[in-house]
């Protein structure tokens, strides 16, 4: 028993360091999964615009329903991309602040920080990776939005003389009102960072009573 009491602190420390390293790898993996999911959403945005249909309408006399269909398709993709652009800008701001905080913590530990500096370095690497991805995706999203704005302008100019165009403009105003009235947008976007940050979960688990008992049990098993 005396031998166990003497060696238990070192054994527990070793076990905690081992599990901490495993936890760090899990965080990196979960972050990568979240990042890849985000990349898929950026690379493959929902596009509802049929270019052939637009060209046909530009060279024909369109009905109100046809005008409405094309206009709504343009508006839907623009709304989707606008939301994505907002999210990317929000992510860039949050990740930049998170990088600043981690860098300050990293410097505060000095050269003797050891394991803590290693942990912070891994977190910084993950944050920088996500930040670079968001910064790279933003210009593509903004470029596509500019293209859609040009298409919308051309569409409006072409059909401004159509007898059904006033009805279309009324529908456009109604859609814009509904889009701008989405009060939950900012709340949803602000949750992105929390959903892909697993540090708090890992720290909470490491300090939990079941986790401590688990470490003690394994140390006991190793020594006896």
**Total domain count, the chain:** 1
What is the spatial distance between Cα 168 and Cα 92, in angstroms, rounded to a whole number? Answer: 37
Report the predicted TM-score, pTM, of the whole model to 2 decimal places. 0.46
Residue 60 phi/psi, 5-degree rounding, is -145, 175
pLDDT of residue 203: 59
CB-side neighbour CA atoms (13 Å) of 94? 17
In this prediction, residues 35-46 reach a mean pLDDT of 46
Domain that holds residue 75: 2-223
What is the spatial distance between Cα 209 and Cα 27, in angstroms, rounded to a whole number? Answer: 21
In this prediction, residues 181-206 reach a mean pLDDT of 57
Of residues 117 and 45, the one with the higher pLDDT is: 117
The residue among 78, 48, 94, 77 whose CA lies nearest residue 189 is 94
Average pLDDT over the chain, rounded to an integer:
67
Residue 106 CB-density burial (10 A; 0-12 exposed, 13-18 middle, 19+ buried): middle
């Amino acid at each position: 028993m005396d031998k166990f009491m003497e060696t238990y602190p070192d054994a527990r420390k070793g076990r905690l360091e081992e599990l901490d390293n495993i936890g760090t790898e899990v965080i990196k993996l979960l972050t990568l999964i979240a990042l890849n999911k985000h990349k898929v959403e950026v690379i493959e945005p929902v596009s509802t615009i049929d270019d052939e249909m637009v060209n046909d309408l530009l060279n024909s006399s369109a009905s109100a329903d046809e005008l409405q269909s094309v206009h709504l398709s343009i508006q839907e993709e623009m709304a989707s991309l606008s939301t994505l652009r907002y999210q990317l800008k929000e992510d860039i701001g949050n990740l930049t602040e998170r990088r600043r905080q981690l860098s300050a913590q990293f410097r505060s530990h000095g050269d003797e920080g050891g394991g803590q500096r290693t942990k912070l370095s891994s977190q910084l690497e993950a944050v920088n990776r996500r930040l670079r991805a968001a910064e790279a995706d933003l210009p593509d999203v903004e470029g596509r939005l500019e293209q859609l704005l040009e298409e919308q302008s051309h569409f409006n100019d072409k059909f401004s003389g159509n007898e059904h165009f006033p009805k279309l403009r009324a529908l456009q105003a109604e859609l814009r009102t509904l889009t701008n009235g989405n009060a939950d947008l900012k709340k949803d976007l602000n949750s992105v960072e929390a959903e892909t940050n697993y540090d708090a979960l890992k720290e909470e688990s490491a300090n939990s009573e079941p986790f401590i008992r688990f470490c003690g049990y394994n140390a006991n098993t190793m020594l006896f």
